[in-house]
Structure 1
Amino acid sequence: MSDKEISMASWQGRVDPEPDSARWHQRILPWRAGSVPGVVLVGFACDEGVLRNKGRVGAAAGPLAIRKALASLAWHQQRPVYDAGDITCPDGDLESAQARLAVRVSEVLAEGHQPIVLGGGHEVAYGSWTGLATYMGSGGVVPRIGIVNFDAHFDLRDPANGPSSGTPFAQIAAQCTMRGWPFHYACLGISRASNTQALFARAAALGVWVREDHEIRESTLPQIATELDAFVAECDVLYLTLDIDVLPAAEAPGVSAPAAHGVSLPLLEPLLARLCKSGKLRVIDLAELNPSHDIDGRTARTAARLIHRLSLMS
């Protein structure tokens, strides 16, 4: 089934009469091949992986909710921002949707843009990474792709029974082994209560750098930042993926799996800024926003703020 055509209908909001008062809805453009390089938003309107993982469905509506929350934010960009529409999965064929997302991400990268993918369930990660791998692998050199995942969950479940929102990084690890590439995976914000001993063992076997949610505090940020710098130094490029359920449930109630503890936004933002300043960030995505469980658009606004900041810094 074909994906939705690019529609700018959701980009509506207030218009201020004063000079220099533009907002996102007044400046964002539909993406076309050959556009001047900038930031390209790609929607992944899919939560088939969440359904397969027996989670709360509704994340397929995430891209639209994020666009609506972004629309009236003040415009401070120094480069153009485009909307490339949505990759959809109306027929349950998750694997095809991920493949189409990978093609879109690779195309956007090849034109010199910074793609930001709007999920969707965290199955978005396999499509985002595959797009970056396709782009990086075309040069004939083995790339060192670093994955930085802010998430309460490892998403390293065994994909033997089919991919889901709980398997993307296990799938990526398998792809790296098959290609003879190194697997560099950092996961920050992990909830020990939400991940089994088997998942911790798998993460250890794969050499995943882990920081649990309770370890990330204002007092530990300098040490974590130093460790993050060391991780980044071992990579040629970075793929940043943000599962919104890494935030406390009070800050992000509208997710597929709310976090009892989580890592607050003021603790995340300095680490995100550090990644952006590295100059290695190539692909960004946000996952698991579930508008059907949101309260007063609180989670969508948080996701929009993150995109606003990341598009300025990256």
Structure 2
Amino acid sequence: MKGRYDSNEIEDQRLWQLINKKNLNKTKSFGFLGFKCDEGVKRNLGRLGTFEGPNAIRTAMASMPIHSLDLEIKDYGDVEVVSTNLEECQNVYSGVVTRIINDGIIPIGLGGGHSIAYGTYTGIKNSDKYKNKKIGIINFDAHLDMRPYDQYPTSGTSFKQIGDCEEDYRYMIIGYQKIGNTIRLLNTCKELGGEIISAEDVEFNSMKEINNKIIKFINSVDYIYVTLCMDVFDIADAMGVSAPSAVGLNKAKGIKLFENILDTGKVVAVDFAEVNPELDIDNRTGRLVAYIINKIID
């Protein structure tokens, strides 16, 4: 990772200069991990190109100035198996997530298709710290991603796969779009006990009301895993995605909700999905991810 260079003085340092450097005064540790796989998108008949998503995100965040002196960041590289072997990619990714968590580091996943979510969640549950804990999922997404997977898993099946394995499934979606989900998907979400906050809810209801619903959900679990599918945002803000939203989640309000979730201190992993630089202009979608990552680490 390379970016803008001002000097080596601590006041001038940017993210690329901090990566993989030891910090004896660290109080916060994060680890980037790329998921270079868009086979799930292909199986889901989406537009290909998310394979290069991790590189686009790294490029966008490399020159971010660092304002926290107690920060340590590692880059674990990319998980890249045979591109057509989604299941193997998820298994390998999950194993690295577990290792990152066992090292006392918060993983930040860089996708890649939203199949990343199954890998992240299983990685959390297989870790020493969280295997017996109740993990709630908050998914910023226009789509429920609860499709049947009788034939094979895709980028649209992760949250049904997880739900089918959990007795007490705790799932919330923020930014849901009625236009992007069938009746079956909605019924599946209800059957699994999922909670829905639509993009319209965020736009037209009070933020206090929305926040209260989110905090109630967070209080019902031990820890939170947050996953952001970038197609949740308006196409003007995130055009580099597999399935863009004509009228998506309000960017400013969505990021504020995300910050409020971080402030609870319960977030143990975050990942970003569906970043497709082949469909982007000036890496706008990657830059939006970088902006949100800055909220996490700084």
- Per the normalisation by structure 1, the TM-score is 0.89
- Whether 2:90 is the aligned partner of 1:98: answer yes
The runs of 5 or more residues in structure 2 that have no matched partner are none
Aligned to 1:293: 279
Among 147, 163, 176, which residue is 1:157 paired with? 147
Q: Which of 263, 284, 289 lines up with 2:270 in the alignment?
A: 284
Distance 1:207 1:125 in 2: 18
Runs of 4+ in 1 over 6 A off after TM superposition: none
User: Is the alpha carbon distance of 1:106 and 1:227 closer, same or farther for their aligned partners in structure 2, counting shifts above 3 Å?
Assistant: same
For residues 76-129 of structure 1, give each alpha carbon's deviation from its aligned partner in whole angstroms, at most 9, with x where no partner exists.
Answer: 233111100000133411111101111100111011101000000000000000
Alignment equivalent of 2:198, drawn from 201, 208, 212: 212
**CA displacement 1:215-270 (0-9 Å, x = unmatched):** 11275211010000000000101110000000000001111111011112211122
**Alpha carbons of 1:273 and 1:36: their partners in 2 closer, same or farther (altered >3 Å)?**
closer
- 1:51 counterpart = 2:42: yes
Task: Tell me whether 102-111 or 16-25 shows the greater mean CA deviation.
Answer: 16-25
Q: 1:137 to 1:307 in 2, by over 3 A?
A: closer
Counterpart contact for 1:37–1:111, Cα < 8 Å: no
Partner SS state of residue 247, structure 2: coil
Q: Which of 96, 119, 123 is matched with 1:127 structurally?
A: 119
Give the corresponding residue for 1:107.
99
Match of 1:8 in 2: none
Which stretches in structure 1 are left out of the alignment for 5+ residues? 1-10
Q: CA deviation at 1:207?
A: 1.1
**Counterpart residue identity of residue 143, structure 2:** H
- 1:34-54 deviations in whole A, cap 9, x for unaligned? x99610000001111000000
Distance of aligned partners of 1:137 and 1:12 in 2 relative to their CA distance in 1, 3 Å threshold: closer
- Structure 1 residues 210 and 124 mapped into 2: Cα distance closer, same or farther (>3 Å)? same
Distance 1:218 1:59 in 2: 32
Query: Number of paired residues?
Result: 293
Q: Which residue of 2 aligns with 1:275?
A: 261
For 1:26, give the aligned amino acid.
Q
Which position in structure 1 is the counterpart of 2:108?
A: 116
Residue 58 of structure 1 aligns with an amino acid whose one-letter code is G
Is the 8 Å Cα contact of residues 251 and 264 (structure 1) preserved in structure 2? no
Structure 1 residue aligned with 2:163, among 164, 167, 173? 173
- Amino acid in the other structure paired with 1:166: G
Q: Deviations over 1:184-239 (max 9, x none)?
A: 00001011011001111111111111011111127521101000000000010111
Could you tell me how far 1:136 is from its partner in structure 2? 5.6
Give CA deviations for 1:140-188 in whole Å, capped at 9, x if unaligned. x4x2110000000000001111100000000001121xxxx41000001
- 1:304 & 1:207 partners in 2: Cα distance? 32
When the two chains are superposed, the root-mean-square deviation of aligned CA atoms in Å is: 1.8
Question: In the aligned structure 1, how far is the partner of 2:98 from the partner of 2:273?
Answer: 19
Following superposition, the deviation at residue 25 of structure 1 comes to 1.1
Tell whether the 8 Å contact from 2:102 to 2:129 is kept in structure 1 after alignment: no
Deviation at 1:26, TM superposition (A): 1.1
Conserved 8 A contact 2:202-2:250 = no
Partner of 1:191: 177
**One-letter amino acid of the counterpart of residue 215, structure 2:** D
Give the whole-Å Cα distance in 2 for the aligned partners of 1:274 and 1:193. 27
